[in-house]
Copies of this chain bind each other. A is one copy, B any other.
Amino acid sequence: MPLTNTAHVILGMLRKGPKSGYEIKAKADISTRFFWAISYGQIYPELKRLEEAGLIEGESDPADGRQRRVFAITPAGEQALRDWLTRPGDLHTELRHEGVLRFFFADALDHTERVALLRTVRAKHERLREELAAIQPVAEAMAEEAGGDRLGLLTLETGIAYQELFVELCDRLERRLDETESTVGGS
């Protein structure tokens, strides 16, 4: 059966060099997390499956006496990754945004509550924007060691622009709310 996108994240991470499950999670947490989150509950079982399928190879590599398994991608794994990257057909795109959802139904609230909601949403995206901005130097360093792969940087910039859009949209919505409020009066 076909691999999940999460499996491809693991494959993609290992293509940049051998890693333990723990390291995969750590790298994902500062990069892919913002548009494709993964958790330990998926990583370890998936590593097992990928190894059985011959797409990766695990090797025991205890560091400082600590138990540790490091996985490396195989040629078959590289091929599977490439196949996925170039595969035609629909790309899964899913957004679940409780803030926008609440706003959609905010007719049940009064003006003050609506504004408070927008401010909360705005604050969240502002915080995420800062979180991403803080990663930038790390990503810069990672790009160096990855032999000049700048795509991580570009993706990060995309993530920052994404958060900025929501901040701006919240501001815009609040202004629009004030306009109607002042002309017709709110509920």
Tell me the A residues contacting B by CB distance below 8 Å.
5, 8-9, 12, 15-16, 31-32, 34-37, 78, 81-82, 84-86, 88, 90-109, 113, 117, 120-121, 124, 146, 148-152, 154-155, 158-159, 161-162, 165, 169, 173, 176-177, 180, 184
A124 contacts which chain B residues (CB < 8 A)? 90-91, 93
A152 contacts which chain B residues (CB < 8 A)? 104
Q: Once the chains bind, are A98 and B93 in contact (CB under 8 Å)?
A: yes
A37 contacts which chain B residues (CB < 8 A)? 94, 96
Instruction: Give CA–CA (A161, B165) in the complex, Å.
Output: 8
Q: Once the chains bind, are B95 and A151 in contact (CB under 8 Å)?
A: no
A113 contacts which chain B residues (CB < 8 A)? 85-86
A107 contacts which chain B residues (CB < 8 A)? 15-16, 146, 149, 151
Identify the closest chain B residue to A82 (Cβ): B108
A117 contacts which chain B residues (CB < 8 A)? 85-86
Instruction: Give CA–CA (A164, B28) in the complex, Å.
Output: 27
Q: Per a CB cutoff under 8 Å, which of B36, B96, B158, B169 touches A36?
A: B96
A90 contacts which chain B residues (CB < 8 A)? 124
A85 contacts which chain B residues (CB < 8 A)? 102, 105-106, 108-109, 113, 117
Query: Known: A94-B94, A95-B94, A99-B91. Is A104-B155 also a contact (CB below 8 A)?
Result: yes
A109 contacts which chain B residues (CB < 8 A)? 82, 85-86
Q: Closest CB-CB distance, A26 to chain B, in whole Å?
A: 16
Q: Once the chains bind, are B108 and A81 in contact (CB under 8 Å)?
A: yes
Q: Closest CB-CB distance, A10 to chain B, in whole Å?
A: 11
Query: Known: A37-B94, A93-B124. Is A104-B169 also a contact (CB below 8 A)?
Result: no
Q: Closest CB-CB distance, A122 to chain B, in whole Å?
A: 11
A35 contacts which chain B residues (CB < 8 A)? 95-97, 100-101, 104
